[in-house]
Amino acid sequence: MCQSKQIEVNDPRFLELDKFLKKLQGEKGIAMIALQKAQQLFGYLPLEVHKHISARTGISVAELYGVSTFYSQFLLEAEGKHRISVCMGTACYVKGAQNVLDKLCELLNIKVGEVSADGLFSITAARCIGCCGLAPVIMIDEEVYANIVDLNELEQILDNYRLKDAAVGAASLASPGGKAEAEDPA
């Protein structure tokens, strides 16, 4: 399991958040907007971010945490680069979704809600993905994988993402300046 790294107090994203919060100074009901901006900047909302917003706005950490935990759009833990959702709806569950979820957790050596040690994957159990006729189904980012009956194919699916990420990283390192070059639109 990969532990979320603590965000340093001198992280430049705090300065950007402060600029945003300063624009909201004196306004009422800004907790939601402040948390949305913070999540946009940090990718998730650890305690350090809650405390920072509280110190700048006067909104209690308890109130901010209440908003963060009430709305499902907010993440309290970092996610992996690729988010795996395993559908646990009735059709998927009856057709073996629990086995799919267990196998993915085993392959990644994580539990639901955790991030893999390499930071590439996080896994969640979804209520329903809406592909009941294709059960059991998983979704990785925006890609749907249907009829997962052979659990051995899960390792190949994960390896494809690892290879794709390795290729992107290698291409980035090989280009001048270490950045992937954009194609010429002409």
3: in domain: no
pLDDT at residue 54 in the model: 96
Please determine, for residue 112, whether its predicted confidence score (pLDDT) is greater than 80: yes
Question: Residue 166's pLDDT band (boundaries 50, 70, 90)?
Answer: confident
31: in domain: yes
Contacts of 134 (CB under 8 A, 6+ apart): 144, 146, 147
38: in domain: yes
% the chain with pLDDT above 90:
65
Domain co-membership, 50 together with 92:
no
How many domains is the chain built from?
2
Range of the domain at 119: 82-176
183: in domain: no
5: in domain: no
Last residue within a domain, chosen from 70, 93, 109? 70
Asked if 2 and 113 touch (Cβ cutoff 8 Å), the reply is no
pLDDT at residue 185 in the model: 41
End-to-end Cα separation, the chain, in angstroms: 46
Beta bridge partners of 86: 125, 138
pLDDT at residue 172 in the model: 64
pLDDT at residue 177 in the model: 52
Domain co-membership, 87 together with 163:
yes
When mean pLDDT is compared across 48-52, 74-78, 105-109, the lowest value belongs to: 74-78
4: in domain: no
**What is the pLDDT averaged over residues 147-154?**
96
**What is the pLDDT averaged over residues 53-62?**
96
Whichever domain contains 159, its CATH number is 3.40.30.10
pLDDT at residue 51 in the model: 95
Asked if 100 and 86 touch (Cβ cutoff 8 Å), the reply is yes
185: in domain: no
